[in-house]
Amino acid sequence: MNTATIKTKINAAQPTSLEQVEKESVYSTRQLNLWYGNNHALKNIDLEIGENEVTAIIGPSGCGKSTYLKTLNRMVELVPSVKTSGEIHYRGRNIFDSSYGVEELRTRVGMVFQKPNPFPKSIYDNIAYGPRIHGIKNKKILDEIVEKSLRGAAIWDEVKDRLNENAYGISGGQQQRICIARTLAIEPDVILMDEPTSALDPISTLKIEELVQELKEQYSIIIVTHNMQQAARISDKTAFFLNGEVIEYDRTDTIFSNPADKRTEDYISGRFG
Amino acid sequence: MRYIEQEKVVRRMNGRMVVNRVFQGLFMFATALALLALVILLYRIVSQGAGHLSLDFLTNFASRFPDQAGIKAALVGSIWLMAVVAPTSILLGVGSAIYLEEYAKKGRITTFIQMNISNLAGVPSVVFGLLGLTIFVRALALGNSILAAGFTMSLLILPVIIVAAQEAIRSVPGELRDASYGMGATKWQTIVRIILPAAIPGILTGSILALSRAIGETAPLIVVGIPVIIQFLPEGVMDTFTALPMQIYDWSSRPQAEFQTVAAAGIIVLMVVLLFMNSVAVFIRNKFDKSY
Ligand SMILES: Nc1ncnc2c1ncn2[C@@H]1O[C@H](COP(=O)(O)OP(=O)(O)O)[C@@H](O)[C@H]1O
Ligand SMILES: [Mg+2]
């Protein structure tokens, strides 16, 4: 928490220093189109997503935020009617290449969902799920991963004495942090979050926002949010989606203080959405 | 202007209450009637058969003499039958359900298969008996063995198990699948580690209820040619056997009045077996009941 706060303060004080260092991009999306049957849900998306940054995706309901996020780890293909065109390069490799296995991609790119979705298993087994499916059986290693992940998600102290209890027995906010810890346990490079706080109370929301600030030290985070204050608070870059298009993509402070497009301005000032 | 006038509401209230009462009464009457029939049936059977129940009844073979007639061969035979039916029907049923729910592309063919499975559940059991006679007894030359009868019974309850297992699998929340796939799990890992554990209570309850239907079925056994009077216990699945409902059917169709008592005692044994299986189902459902 502390290092993150300090870093944010430094950034705020010297906004230019960040711009000078051109960060490597984790994802680059080129001319992405996506259809659900005949519904053209994503249109000619071009986006570069930076390393160790928080990228927020904002926009009104149904504009394609979740669809774009789920395309980044190809979860969207679980919907049978989906068709895509264009390219998404993750660390230089097109994720739509037939040689790229979705399982491989998803161990590099973790996902946290809108509604906390722990498995009906113990807290320990929830966190150990990822490592186990990837072949780790050694109890000692699993123990270490579980502790490290729970600490990483800032929930170790709250659950360390009840690791064997069912994850359904804890609060929604805690469940969501368990889900974040579960994602950390696969040691991802990128974490996708789809409105991770929309089902939570304000205090849990704050905890998750703080957590996101800490996590960006090590991970690149792409977060969909309905809440513009949240985007302003926690993200470095913001993409504004409308009807399946990216209307504007820029540094968060620019988007919120000096948007280039009238529609962005209308949206962030609450005139529609 | 208000659309709902309090006065009119009050005036019409009495009529509404009467209708309410009448229907409550009607439904209670329907329930009571069903209960009454059940109580009479139980009373008749218990009062008739209880006297004949004894340890000897369970350990004796069938006999020409009512007072020596026992149910040993039928009871053991039914257990053997279940030993074939349970694994066969559950494995095939759950396998089909997993295929239909998780693998099959939703399309015309799947819909067609699905429709036929539901229809099969309504086909009379005699028809399954004929199918078993043709395929297992004759074509595969299994004769009137436990295996042939077991396979026939498995076919009979397969549709019920498939539908129950499908429902159980379908009721596993999609978010759990997403979570698993989202961490890079394969479909198989997701099925084995997430979907089946969550669906197993539903699958087991459905299966046990289907099995208790199989243990009470007579028609397919008659068609397959299962004998009634047997003076030995089967030693393997290729041996012939008899089963509880066959034995009861035989006793109740005999002219001597004493055999009616024996039949009633047999029914009590069958009902205890059924009751036991159903309570196992209820136990499983309560024990594993998870609220998502
Ligand atoms: N599973 C789906 N099947 C068909 N259409 C879908 C599905 N999910 C989303 N859509 C459609 O895609 C568009 C974008 O939806 P979504 O990405 O969920 O928007 P958002 O997350 O911004 O609210 C909407 O028009 C929605 O109706
Ligand atoms: Mg959404």
Residues of B in contact with A145 (CB under 8 A): none
Residues of B in contact with A194 (CB under 8 A): none
CA of A194 to the centre of ligand 2 (A): 7
Q: If residue B51 lies in a helix (H) or strand (E), which one and from where to where? A: none
Q: Give the Å distances, CA to CA, from A27 to A48, A216, B27, B100, B134.
A: 6, 15, 64, 36, 63
Mutation choice for A interface testing from B183, B196, B292 by most A CBs within 10 A:
B183
Mean pLDDT of A115-136: 95
Q: Could you tell me the pTM of the whole model?
A: 0.83
CA of B178 to the centre of ligand 1 (A): 16
Q: How far apart are CA A25 and CA B89, in angstroms?
A: 54
Q: Strand (E) positions, A145-208?
A: 190-194
* Residue A79: both structure tokens together: 């919907």
Interface residue A114 vs chain B (CB under 8 A) = no
Whether residue A13 is predicted with pLDDT greater than 60 in this model: the reply is no
Q: Give the Å distances, CA to CA, from B84 to B90, B150, B177.
A: 10, 5, 33
Compute the mean pLDDT over every residue in chain A, rounded to the nearest whole number.
90
Count of C-beta atoms within a 10 Å radius of residue B152: 30
**SS3 state at B285:** helix
Residues of B in contact with A75 (CB under 8 A): 178, 181-182
pLDDT at B64: 84
Q: Please state the φ and ψ torsions of residue A64, each to the nearest 5 degrees.
A: 105, 15
> Does the distance separating the beta carbons of B106 and A120 come in below 8 Å?
no
Q: What is the pLDDT of residues A64-77, one digit of tens each?
A: 999 999 999 999 99
Q: Which residue has the higher pLDDT, B2 or A262?
A: A262
> CB-based contacts of A150: which residues, under 8 Å, 6+ apart?
A123, A127, A156, A159, A160, A178, A181
A239 - beta bridge partners? A57, A249
Enumerate residues lining ligand 1, CB below 6 A.
A 36, 39, 41, 59, 61-67, 79
Comparing CA positions, the residue from A102, A101, A71 lying closest to residue A192 is A71
**SS3 state at A121:** coil
CA of A62 to the centre of ligand 2 (A): 7
pLDDT-derived band at A2 (thresholds 50, 70, 90) equals very low
Q: What is the pLDDT of residues A134-162, one digit of tens each?
A: 999 999 999 999 999 999 999 999 999 99
A35 - beta bridge partners? A40, A83
pLDDT-derived band at A16 (thresholds 50, 70, 90) equals very low
Comparing CA positions, the residue from B266, B187, B169, B189 lying closest to residue A131 is B189
Residue of chain A whose Cα is closest to the Cα of B197: A120
pLDDT at A7: 41
**Span between the terminal Cα atoms of chain A, in Å:** 32
Residues of B in contact with A73 (CB under 8 A): 182
The torsion defined by the Cα of A146, A152, A156 and A157, in degrees rounded to 10, comes to: 160
pLDDT at B290: 55
> Does the distance separating the beta carbons of B189 and A105 come in below 8 Å?
no
Q: Which of A80, A120, A133 sits opposite B185 (nearest CB)?
A: A133
Q: Which of A78, A106, A119 sits opposite B184 (nearest CB)?
A: A106
Lowest mean pLDDT among A54-63, A192-201, B113-122, B280-289: B280-289
Q: Give yes or no for a contact between A174 and A191, defined as CB atoms under 8 angstroms apart.
A: no
Which ligand gives the minimal distance to the CA of A36? 1
> Does the distance separating the beta carbons of B186 and A80 come in below 8 Å?
no
> Does the distance separating the beta carbons of A186 and B184 come in below 8 Å?
yes
Q: Give the Å distances, CA to CA, from B212 to B88, B237, B272, B277.
A: 15, 20, 11, 7
Q: Strand (E) positions, chain A?
A: 25-36, 39-50, 54-58, 82-90, 93-94, 109-112, 190-194, 220-224, 237-242, 245-251
Q: How far apart are CA B61 and CA A167, in angstroms?
A: 55
Comparing CA positions, the residue from A211, A183, A169 lying closest to residue A127 is A183
pLDDT at A231: 95
Q: How far apart are CA A253 and CA A62, in angstroms?
A: 25
Interface residue A113 vs chain B (CB under 8 A) = yes
Q: If residue B196 lies in a helix (H) or strand (E), which one and from where to where? A: helix B196-216
Interface confidence, given as ipTM, is 0.87
Q: What is the pLDDT of residues A29-47, one digit of tens each?
A: 999 999 999 999 999 999 9
pLDDT tens sequence for chain B (292 residues): 788 888 888 888 888 999 999 999 999 999 999 999 999 999 999 999 888 888 888 888 888 888 888 899 999 999 999 999 999 999 999 999 999 999 998 889 999 999 999 999 889 999 999 999 999 999 999 999 999 999 999 999 999 999 999 999 999 999 999 999 999 999 999 999 999 999 999 999 999 999 999 999 999 999 999 988 888 888 988 999 999 999 999 999 998 888 999 999 999 999 999 999 989 888 888 877 654 5
Q: Which of A80, A113, A117 sits opposite B106 (nearest CB)?
A: A80
A43 Cα to chain B: minimum distance (Å): 24
Count of C-beta atoms within a 10 Å radius of residue B47: 10
Interface residue A129 vs chain B (CB under 8 A) = yes
Total number of residues shown for chain A: 273
Q: How far apart are CA B39 and CA A47, in angstroms?
A: 73
Q: How far apart are CA A183 and CA A153, in angstroms?
A: 9
Amino acid at A188: P
Q: Please state the φ and ψ torsions of residue B99, each to the nearest 5 degrees.
A: -60, -50
Whether residue A20 is predicted with pLDDT greater than 60 in this model: the reply is no
**CB burial class (10 A; 0-12, 13-18, 19+) of residue A148?**
middle
Residues of B in contact with A106 (CB under 8 A): 181-184
> Does the distance separating the beta carbons of A129 and B193 come in below 8 Å?
yes
Q: Which of B180, B184, B290 sits opposite A120 (nearest CB)?
A: B290
Interface residue B182 vs chain A (CB under 8 A) = yes
Residues of B in contact with A129 (CB under 8 A): 180, 183, 185, 193
